[in-house]
Chains A and B, each alone.
Chain A
Amino acid sequence: MKVKLLDIAHGRSGDKGDAANIGIIAYNMNGYEIIKKHLTADKVKKHFEGICFGEVERYELPNLMALNFVLHNTLGGGGTVSLKHDAQGKTLAAALLRMELEV
């Protein structure tokens, strides 16, 4: 079965230097179990092919039903240097919610 991330989670993204951080929060524990199992760092890295050029770190926050991803080498040199329209990665959480998970 395919699950659209947008239907089971929300989140927020921002910048840490040239890395973007994306926090993804499930709406309930059922959703958290799904993202915990299926939303791997590898899948996120592949999803952001052409945007994220570094490693992707994944952290679990079960207390918030959330995962935090740090996407290195993603913002074109960091907020003040980057030529990107979205230089601080503010829309990347929404971009991740485009993903569909096979569960």
Chain B
Amino acid sequence: MKEKIRIASGQGFWGDLVDAPFYQVTSGPIDYLVMDYLAEVTMSILQKQKNKNPNLGYAKDIPDLMRKILPITKEKNIKIITNGGGVNPEACADAVLKVAKEIGLANLKVAVVLGDNIIDKIDELISSGYYLNNMETSEPITKIRDKLLSANVYFGAFPIVEALKLGAEIVITGRTTDTGLTLAPMIYEFNWDKTDYDLLAAGTVAGHILECGGQASGGNLLADWKSVENLAEIGFPIAEAYPNGDVIITKHENLGGKVSFETVAEQLVYEIGDPMKYITPDCIADFTSIKLEEIAPNKVKVFNVKGKPETEFYKVSCSYFDGYSAVGTLTYSWPEALTKAKAADEILRKRLEKLNLKFDEIRTEFVGYNSCHGPLSVKIDEEKINEIMLRVAVRSHDYNAVERFGKEIAPLILTGPPSVTGFAGGRPKPNEVVAYWPALIPKKLVEPKVKLITT
């Protein structure tokens, strides 16, 4: 058994710093590179892409990234784990293997984790009495069945562990928990058991710290963000994991950013509910047991994590089509920028009302005045405001209403209050609204499958 392993975070979401994985594999020693690409909305975008082309449906950045890093990871024996397979892990693996062939890498072992996509099983589930009730509203999925776009089960770390046991150098999954990507190599390397709940929780906590990339190493830091050095070349976090569950969060020394009690604590409280019950398919982690200690500059020890047995359910993340939306903006300058923006909003609303269009919601915000903090925003002396951006957003199930709204924004330039600009982008176009439907499904109804493919 290895004395310790170093797991590096390479992506916090699809759209994150493109070169972060390259710097992680070249700037110092690591054993694993883990990359989280999936947010709730990402799955439905990928499903749409797959519907148009059966060879798509995964994070398209991956093949290009692999071209750049595979020669390095192969040489240094760094294993890669990612959920960027989205709704089509097999096509992603094919694309990666194609790249490997092109750059002359022989014997690359790529594994895929399949079985999370249950969109084709929904009707069968409904007829068997599993209604995938919405976790927030308790409504049955039959309510939105005809508008359903995607349905994916969150798998945990164990299918990835199976892939690693098969000798995979790259593991590509679909909807796997962000934390499972980091926990898996710890289970594999340290032979942790399915019932070692404290250890599984420790790995899960490490995964939670790594899952948002640079957000744990100085990015988006509310505590004294100006103290973070060289954000331009931020080093993403690295978890140095030990067999007893202790983890040291750090980063490559020659990169920017900062790892401290504050950076790690902020990430720990990010997107959590009840901290005593952080539920994953692998265990329930208790965030109130975690101890943090700064043991050296840019080294924070995370220890004493307690865990409990996993639940009998997988979480299912479904998405469905829910109408259209559009956002239009115009910028008004001093003098009386806010007064003019407010007047323009009133004129726009009167015109829309006269057209008798049906909107589910019309929302107005004044960017530079109240768009972030709403009614909490302080009142500003209007003489001191240089400019205000009027931002109006609409939502409707009627496509024509949303499209017509887009046509009513530009005319305000010549038919509304003065000193207005900012319309270079053209008319706002209707976008499809994709809503989210979280549900639970008994684990016994879903079976993860692991497949190894070699060049």
- List residues of A whose CB falls within 8 A of some B CB: 10-12, 14-18, 21, 23-25, 27, 47-51, 57, 59-66, 68, 70, 76-81, 83-86, 91, 93-95, 97-98
Is the Cβ of A51 less than 8 Å from the Cβ of B292? no
Tell me if B102 is interfacial: C-beta within 8 Å of chain A: no
Tell me if B41 is interfacial: C-beta within 8 Å of chain A: yes
Is the Cβ of A25 less than 8 Å from the Cβ of B269? yes
Would A23 and B291 be within 8 Å (CB), given that A17-B438, A76-B363 are in contact? no
Rounded to whole angstroms, the CA-CA distance of A83 and B363 in the bound complex is 7
Would A85 and B269 be within 8 Å (CB), given that A63-B291, A95-B372 are in contact? no
Closest Cβ of chain B: how far from A85's Cβ, in Å? 4
Give the contacting residue for B272; candidates A23, A80, A91; CB below 8 A: A23
Closest Cβ of chain B: how far from A84's Cβ, in Å? 7
Number of A-B contacts (CB under 8 A): 131
Tell me if B32 is interfacial: C-beta within 8 Å of chain A: no
- B 414-449 to A, binary, CB cutoff 8 A, 1 in contact else 0: 000000000000000000011110100000000000
Could you show 17 A-B contacts with beta carbons less than 8 Å apart? A10-B223, A14-B270, A25-B265, A25-B266, A27-B223, A49-B375, A50-B374, A61-B275, A61-B288, A63-B290, A64-B292, A68-B273, A76-B361, A80-B44, A80-B319, A91-B372, A97-B222
Tell me if B91 is interfacial: C-beta within 8 Å of chain A: no
Rounded to whole angstroms, the CA-CA distance of A10 and B269 in the bound complex is 11
Would A12 and B433 be within 8 Å (CB), given that A27-B223, A80-B41, A83-B363 are in contact? no
Please give me the 7 A-B residue pairs with the lowest Cβ-Cβ distance, nearest first.
A23-B269, A83-B393, A10-B223, A50-B375, A14-B271, A83-B363, A85-B371
Name the residue on B nearest A85 (C-beta). B371
Interface residues of B, dominant DSSP: mixed
Rounded to whole angstroms, the CA-CA distance of A64 and B394 in the bound complex is 41
Is the Cβ of A80 less than 8 Å from the Cβ of B271? no
Rounded to whole angstroms, the CA-CA distance of A57 and B193 in the bound complex is 34
Would A18 and B222 be within 8 Å (CB), given that A61-B287, A64-B292, A68-B269 are in contact? no
Would A62 and B375 be within 8 Å (CB), given that A10-B223, A79-B41, A83-B327 are in contact? no
- List residues of B whose CB falls within 8 A of some A CB: 40-41, 44, 136, 220-224, 262, 265-276, 287-292, 319, 322, 325, 327, 361, 363, 365, 367, 371-376, 391, 393-395, 433-436, 438
Give the contacting residue for A11; candidates B269, B319, B372, B438; CB below 8 A: B269
Name the residue on A nearest B435 (C-beta). A81
Would A47 and B376 be within 8 Å (CB), given that A60-B288, A62-B288, A83-B363 are in contact? yes
Would A25 and B41 be within 8 Å (CB), given that A51-B375, A64-B292 are in contact? no
Is the Cβ of A59 less than 8 Å from the Cβ of B274? yes
Name the residue on B nearest A86 (C-beta). B372
Would A11 and B376 be within 8 Å (CB), given that A23-B269, A64-B265 are in contact? no
